[in-house]
C-alpha cells in the first residue's frame, strides 16, 4: 500500500489547481447573508492565491484527503520549485493551517469528532515531511505540529463513545504506519497520541 504522501505525489504535488475551487466558493459564499465574503473573493481572491487557499480552508467542506492536498499544495506553491521554504513562506503556511485548525475546533464543539480529527491529521501529515525543508530551525513548523498533536489529545479526552474512539484510533494508526520512513520526524508525538487513545479504550 502506498503512503498518503506517495498517493499525493501520484496526482502531482508541485501544482495544485486552487482556482478549481472558485465556483464552489462562489456558491457557498453567495448563500451567506453577509455578501462581503463573496465580494472579497471576486475582487481579491481570484488574484491572490494565498487568500484563495485560506477561503477554501475556511468555507469549503474538506475531507482528510482534500485537507492534505490543500496544505501540501500550498506548501509547494510557497516553495516555488525550491527544496527549501522561506521564513515568510513558513509563516504563510501557519496562517493556512490555523484556519484549518479553527475549522477543526468548530467541528469538535458540535461533537463532529472524526471530521475534526481528519483536518488535524491532514495538517500533521502535510507538514511533518517538510520539517527539514526550512532555512531556520523550523520553529514555525514545530509550533504547527505541536498544536495539532495537542488538539488531537484534547479531542480524544472529550470522546465518550467507544465506537468513535476505536474509529479514531484505527484512522490514526493507519496514518502513523503509512508514512514514508524518511519523513518520520514526529515519531514520539504519534506514539504518545496513540498511547492516550489506548488508555481511553481500556
CA distance 202 to 199: 5
Task: Determine the pLDDT at residue 13.
Answer: 44
| pLDDT (mean) for 54-71 | 97
Task: Determine the pLDDT at residue 3.
Answer: 42
Task: Determine the pLDDT at residue 5.
Answer: 41
180: left (phi over 0), alpha (psi -120 to 50) or beta: beta
pTM of the model: 0.91
Reduced to 3 states (helix: H, G, I; strand: E, B; else coil), residue 110 is: coil
Residue-wise pLDDT for 145-193, tens only, equals 999 999 999 999 999 999 999 999 999 999 999 999 999 999 999 999 9
pLDDT range class, residue 46, cuts 50, 70, 90? confident
149: cell is 498533536
First-to-last CA distance in the chain?
Answer: 30
φ, ψ at 85 (rounded to 5°): -90, 150
Each domain of the chain, given as residue ranges in start order, spans: 4-201
Reduced to 3 states (helix: H, G, I; strand: E, B; else coil), residue 115 is: helix
Residue-wise pLDDT for 68-80, tens only, equals 999 999 999 999 9
CA distance 8 to 108: 27
- How many other CB atoms are found less than 10 A from the CB of residue 36? 10
Amino acid at each position: 500500500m502506498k503512503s498518503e504522501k506517495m498517493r499525493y505525489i501520484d496526482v502531482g504535488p508541485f501544482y495544485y489547481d486552487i482556482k478549481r475551487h472558485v465556483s464552489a466558493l462562489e456558491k457557498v459564499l453567495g448563500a451567506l447573508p453577509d455578501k462581503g465574503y463573496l465580494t472579497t473573493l471576486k475582487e481579491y481572491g481570484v488574484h491572490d492565491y494565498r487568500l484563495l487557499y485560506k477561503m477554501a480552508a475556511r468555507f469549503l467542506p474538506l475531507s482528510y484527503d482534500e485537507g492534505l492536498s490543500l496544505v501540501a499544495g500550498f506548501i509547494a506553491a510557497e516553495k516555488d520549485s525550491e527544496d527549501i521554504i522561506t521564513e515568510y513562506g513558513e509563516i504563510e503556511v501557519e496562517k493556512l493551517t490555523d484556519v484549518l485548525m479553527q475549522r477543526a475546533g468548530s467541528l469538535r464543539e458540535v461533537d463532529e469528532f472524526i471530521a475534526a480529527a481528519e483536518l488535524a491529521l491532514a495538517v500533521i501529515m502535510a507538514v511533518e515531511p517538510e520539517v527539514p525543508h526550512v532555512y531556520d530551525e523550523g520553529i514555525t513548523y514545530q509550533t504547527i505540529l505541536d498544536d495539532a498533536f495537542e488538539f488531537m489529545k484534547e479531542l480524544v479526552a472529550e470522546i465518550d463513545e467507544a465506537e468513535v474512539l476505536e474509529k479514531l484510533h484505527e484512522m490514526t494508526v493507519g496514518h502513523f504506519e503509512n508514512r514514508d520512513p524518511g519523513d518520520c520526524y514526529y515519531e514520539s508525538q504519534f506514539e504518545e497520541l496513540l498511547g492516550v487513545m489506548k488508555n481511553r479504550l481500556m
